[in-house]
Amino acid sequence: MPGPYAAPGPYTSPPAGPYGPYGTPGPYGMPRQSTSGLAVASMVSGIVCCLPPLGLALGLIALPQIKKKQQKGKGMAVAGIVLSSLATLLVVLGLVTGGIGEFWSGFKKGLDDAAAAQSPFSLDKGDCFRIKGKLETYTTDVDTVPCTSPHEGEVTGDFKLSGFKEWPGEDAIDKLAEVRCDRMNTDYALDTWAVPEEALVYYYLPSRQSWRAGDRSVTCAFATEEAPFTASLRSDASTLDAHQLHFLRTMNPIDDVIAEEPDEDADADLAANKAWAAKMHTAVTSASAGLRGHTWSGASAQPVEKLAGRLDAAAKTWQRLAKAADSDAFWADYEDAFDALSTDHESESRSSLGLTGTLEDSSGEDV
């Protein structure tokens, strides 16, 4: 017995044949027309313009095949022929006039510029780079250059932030970066006399947005906002010999302690200044012992021995400062203590070792 909807009613859809209802192709009707691959290739070659004659040839071959095989793609083949013809004509004109050489030079320069441009976080220790615009804490684009050419920055190292479960804020990262990057820069440029006074300890931090993407890198560098550097500032184990390294590692701690001089003078805080003078006495005494404990070769032996003797004399002056009974007694020996560490005494030893022998101030005058 027929079901309630078995018999066709007056408003049922027409039966499906090779074509579906209303003349549209049905799912199992006539096969769909294919698109000519040659036509596609011709149009792509015409658009890209890398091999214009090829696009022209492919288009001319495609047209009769499209007609014979009833394929689609006639419009693409024609477009490929037209574009390729124009490109071929331009190439011919370029060869005749020399314009193609200029185009290629510009194209190559663009590729070179693109290869040089990179993020600061992809830079390696020792890379020198140019900064586009002003120094910024966050940037995504710098250009690497040879260190012998003008540059505003030189990477001294990098480190990963750890111990934070969430974005700690710029201030927290800045405090860590200031300490870590200062140490990295110091280790990178042991010959401090060769570092221009305008060189800044600089670093690139993760931004809040890059932190979300997993960025935890801090890139440390020397940078300048004034005249660009024209040579590498690097002076470490990779560039110095054993004698140079020993000398700098022996003498640099004195400068480190000098930088710790209290902000308040002896009249305001005598105890702090006496404690600092005691540290200076220890640093100078250790430097003298370190110089005498090394075997120096050639022309450096005599100047270094003379420097060690001057350090012994300086140590006695710093000891008197550390034991000063009052601020007047402290000031009485203060200038003599610094005079005993005159750069003139160190300059001869440095020059004999092939290190920077002249310390310049910001005006370029010898000091």
Mean pLDDT calculated for residue range 247-252: 97
- Is pLDDT above 90 for 159? yes
Instruction: Yes or no: say if 286 and 318 are a contact pair by the CB < 8 Å rule.
Output: no
* Amino acid in the structure at residue 164: F
Mean pLDDT calculated for residue range 67-90: 71
* Per-residue model confidence (pLDDT) at position 14: 37
Quick: pLDDT tens for 200-248: 999 988 888 889 888 899 999 999 988 899 999 999 999 999 999 999 9
Quick: pLDDT tens for 34-45: 666 766 676 666
* Per-residue model confidence (pLDDT) at position 337: 93
- Is pLDDT above 60 for 108? no
Q: Which element (helix H / strand E) includes 143?
A: strand 142-145
Token pair for residue 220?
A: 């440390």
Residue pointed to by tokens 């801090």? 218
| Beta-carbon contacts of residue 299 (< 8 Å; ≥ 6 apart) | 352
pTM over 0.85: no
Instruction: Yes or no: say if 339 and 323 are a contact pair by the CB < 8 Å rule.
Output: no
Which among 263, 204, 195, 260 has a CA at the least distance from the CA of 229? Answer: 195
* Per-residue model confidence (pLDDT) at position 335: 93
> Number of helices and strands (H, E) in the chain?
11, 6
Q: Which residue has the higher pLDDT, 80 or 264?
A: 264
* Cα separation, 247 vs 296, whole angstroms: 10
- Is pLDDT above 90 for 351? yes
Mean pLDDT calculated for residue range 238-267: 96
DSSP 3-state assignment of 204? Answer: strand
Mean pLDDT calculated for residue range 82-99: 68
* Cα separation, 286 vs 283, whole angstroms: 5
* Per-residue model confidence (pLDDT) at position 116: 41
Instruction: Yes or no: say if 223 and 200 are a contact pair by the CB < 8 Å rule.
Output: yes
151 φ, ψ (degrees, to nearest 5): -155, 150
* Cα separation, 52 vs 48, whole angstroms: 8
Q: Predicted confidence band at 23 (pLDDT cuts at 50, 70, 90)?
A: very low
Mean pLDDT calculated for residue range 282-287: 97
- Is pLDDT above 90 for 123? no
